């Protein structure tokens, strides 16, 4: 009872155990469980003996501050890359983070991304072609698969200077044949690694679930022969070694053509005349970009297409807006389209790809948040899942209604945080938004009458959100008739 958190509202058992929270985490329902606790207990809820969740705008601003930010909580140690080096995503050290962020930011800024826009156009065009082709051949296309290939190809090319070419090949399992045909000298082992890397990426969300739930067991995975743990451990090691080899290859390319290397988001860091970071950290950051920049964008696009195709009036309005674009439109033209951007904002509200569990640790001196004293070391967090469903801020919150963004209130804008917030806000958000604008435009220009398929028993139940760290649709598929 002397615990300084004992006055924070919450269910009685939260004071004693985190087992209930863990149970919901392992079922992919932690976010909706915490949301229910907010509905019952209010905006500030103690969710376990040492964790408090805030669902208010003021709480979110404090937890995710720009100035004097709280460091990320211990959970993020599980995101350490395979080589043990820290990256911008996982580091808990505020100063180290600030340095990494400063070195990485300019290459991925809105202005710099203009130089790589053509890659996004090319990849999106191919994705939409494949979606049309799959519909023609089989009656429906699994857009979730194609968007994952699209986003992985884009971030792969921008990070390693070398696309995974998943879109060309279409199916992961045949990638090896493709690589062998194109580069017979590349050797089977490289092909196998690339193939395996893609497989590891696709299973990332479930493995993150295990790594976060059992961090200490994962550390001992090489001694404990339980497949669940050894595989979660091994996949991180494999991804790290692939990232290392790709960066090494890119380094060789730069050495061979120092004046004209293919630009990537990391090129500047290889310039001997500029401030840089150790190579192990470049590799670790490359790995972070690939893992943070593929599923997130793909799942957002998947829900966007599904939500739009379910509502003929929304689809017709969007299709009309993008049809009126000039033939050689650029991303700048898309930024000016009101309805397209409202659709994207609304998708990111209702179907945020990383909507929960971004814990921060209160510094040793403690801090007051929303009138409650949080002692040093408390895990404080806020989940977009709840902020985005506040019925006062967003009336009828479960309804997909892009028009609510026509004249958004200040609270609507402040409560909207699909990319996190403050000093740790998503570094890839401009890239993600560009991908969302371009891919959505291409799809609805080419297939203005696209609709949700019922083939192979596909129904709304398939799209139930499962949330670990990343959110994905329950059955990992989304069938659309794009004809
Ligand atoms: C719709 C797509 C995306 C969504 C919804 C999203 C969401 C987020 C969120 C919520 C965070 C904060 C995580 C935290 O506080 O722990 C974050 C951070 C991050 N994201 Fe994204 N993201 C997206 C796309 C991307 C892309 C394309 C990249 C590629 C570079 C990327 C790279 C990162 C990195 C490196 C961080 C860590 C930033 C830092 O701590 O300074 N994300 N993202």
| pLDDT on residue 103 | 96
Q: What is the pLDDT of residue 229?
A: 64
Ligand 1, residue 425: give the atom nearest the CA.
12
Distance from residue 139's CA to the centre of ligand 1 (Å): 35
Q: What is the model's pLDDT at position 227?
A: 63
Burial status of residue 33 (CB atoms within 10 A of its CB: 0-12, 13-18, 19 or more):
middle
Nearest by Cα to 381 from 88, 36, 44, 24:
44
Domain CATH for 402: 1.10.630.10
Say if 6 falls within a structural domain.
no
Q: Which residues lie below 8 Å from residue 329, measured CB to CB, with a gap of 6+?
A: 441
- Residue 29, domain member (yes or no): yes
Centroid of ligand 1 to alpha carbon of 384 (angstroms): 13
162 — phi, psi (to 5°)? -155, 110
pLDDT value of position 176: 36
- Indicate whether 200 belongs to any domain: yes
Residue nearest to atom 19 of ligand 1 (CA): 426
Q: How much is the pLDDT for 181? A: 34
Please indicate, yes or no, if residue 1 is contained in any of the structural domains.
no
Regions of the chain with pLDDT less than 50 = 172-191
Q: How far is the CA of 109 from the centre of ligand 1 (A)?
A: 13
CB half-sphere exposure, 277, CA atoms < 13 A: 22
Ligand 1 atom 37, closest CA: 89
Whether ligand 1 lies within 6 angstroms of the CB of 430 is answered as: no
pLDDT score, position 189: 45
Helix, strand, coil distribution of the chain in percent, nearest 5: 60, 5, 35
451: containing domain: 12-481
Rounded CA-CA distance 474/465 in Å is 6
| pLDDT score recorded for residue 193 | 54
280, 261 Cβ separation under 8 angstroms: no
Say yes or no: CB of residue 289 within 6 Å of ligand 1. yes
**Is 48 part of any domain?**
yes
Alpha carbon distance 191, 177 (integer Å): 8
Which residue's CA lies nearest to atom 24 of ligand 1? 293
**287 CA to centre of ligand 1 in angstroms:** 13
* 293 close to ligand 1 (CB < 6 Angstrom): yes
Q: Which of 426, 432, 438, 470 to mutate to test the pocket of ligand 1 (most atoms within 8 A of CB)?
A: 426
- Residue 222's pLDDT is 60
Q: Which residue's CA lies nearest to atom 9 of ligand 1?
A: 419
| 134, 301, 384, 416, 483 from 352: Cα distances, Å | 27, 10, 8, 10, 28
Identify whether 88 is part of a domain.
yes
Q: How many domains does the structure of the chain reveal?
A: 1
The answer to whether position 262 is within a domain reads yes
The secondary structure of 144-197 as a DSSP string is: HHHHHHHHHHHHHHHHHSS---HHHH-SGGGHHHHHHHH-GGG-HHHHHHHHHH
C-alpha 288 – ligand 1 centre gap (Å):
9
pLDDT in tens, 213-258: 666 655 665 666 666 667 767 777 777 887 888 888 888 888 888 7
Ligand 1 centre from 289 Cα, in Å? 8
Give Cβ neighbours of residue 365 (< 8 Å, ≥ 6 apart): 376
Q: Is residue 2 a part of any domain in this protein?
A: no
């Amino acid at each position: 009872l002397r615990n300084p958190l004992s006055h924070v509202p919450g269910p009685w058992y939260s004071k004693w155990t985190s087992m209930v929270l863990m149970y919901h985490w392992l079922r992919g329902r932690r976010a909706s469980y915490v949301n229910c606790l907010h509905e019952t207990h209010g905006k500030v809820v103690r969710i376990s003996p040492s964790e408090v969740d805030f669902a208010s705008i003021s709480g979110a601003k404090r937890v995710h501050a720009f100035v004097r930010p709280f460091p990320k909580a211990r959970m993020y140690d599980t995101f350490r890359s395979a080589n043990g080096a820290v990256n911008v995503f996982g580091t808990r050290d505020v100063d180290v983070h600030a340095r990494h962020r400063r070195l990485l930011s300019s290459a991925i800024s809105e202005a710099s991304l203009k130089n790589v826009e053509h890659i996004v156009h090319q990849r999106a065009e191919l994705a939409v072609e494949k979606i049309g082709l799959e519909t023609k051949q089989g009656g429906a296309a699994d857009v979730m698969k194609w968007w994952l290939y699209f986003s992985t190809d884009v971030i792969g090319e921008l990070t390693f200077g070398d696309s995974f070419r998943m879109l060309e090949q279409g199916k992961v399992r045949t990638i090896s044949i493709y690589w062998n045909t194109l580069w017979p000298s590349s050797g089977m082992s490289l092909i196998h690694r690339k193939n395996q890397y893609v497989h590891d990426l696709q299973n990332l969300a479930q493995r993150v679930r295990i790594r976060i739930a059992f961090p200490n067991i994962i550390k001992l995975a090489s001694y404990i022969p339980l497949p669940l743990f050894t595989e979660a451990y091994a996949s991180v090691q494999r991804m790290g070694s692939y990232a290392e080899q790709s960066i090494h290859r890119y380094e060789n390319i730069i050495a061979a053509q120092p004046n004209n290397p293919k630009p990537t988001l990391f090129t500047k860091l290889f310039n001997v005349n500029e401030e840089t970071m150790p190579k192990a950290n470049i590799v670790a950051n490359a790995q972070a970009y690939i893992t943070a920049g593929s599923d997130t964008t793909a799942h957002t696009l998947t829900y966007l297409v599904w939500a739009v195709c379910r509502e003929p009036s929304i689809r017709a309005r969007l299709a009309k807006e993008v049809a009126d674009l000039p033939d050689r439109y650029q991303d700048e033209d898309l930024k000016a389209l009101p309805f397209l951007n409202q659709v994207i904002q609304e998708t990111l509200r209702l179907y945020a790809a990383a909507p929960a569990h971004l814990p921060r640790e209160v510094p040793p001196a403690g801090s007051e948040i929303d009138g409650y004293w949080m002692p040093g070391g408390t895990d404080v967090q806020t989940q977009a899942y709840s902020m985005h469903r506040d019925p006062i801020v967003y009336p009828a919150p479960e309804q997909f209604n892009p028009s609510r963004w026509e004249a958004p209130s200040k609270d609507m804008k402040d409560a909207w945080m699909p990319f996190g917030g403050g000093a740790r806000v998503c570094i890839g958000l401009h890239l993600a938004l560009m991908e969302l604008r371009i891919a959505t435009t291409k799809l609805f220009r080419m297939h203005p009458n696209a609709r949700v398929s019922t083939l192979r028993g596909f129904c709304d139940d398939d799209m139930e959100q499962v949330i670990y760290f990343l959110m994905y649709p329950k059955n990992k598929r989304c069938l659309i008739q794009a004809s």
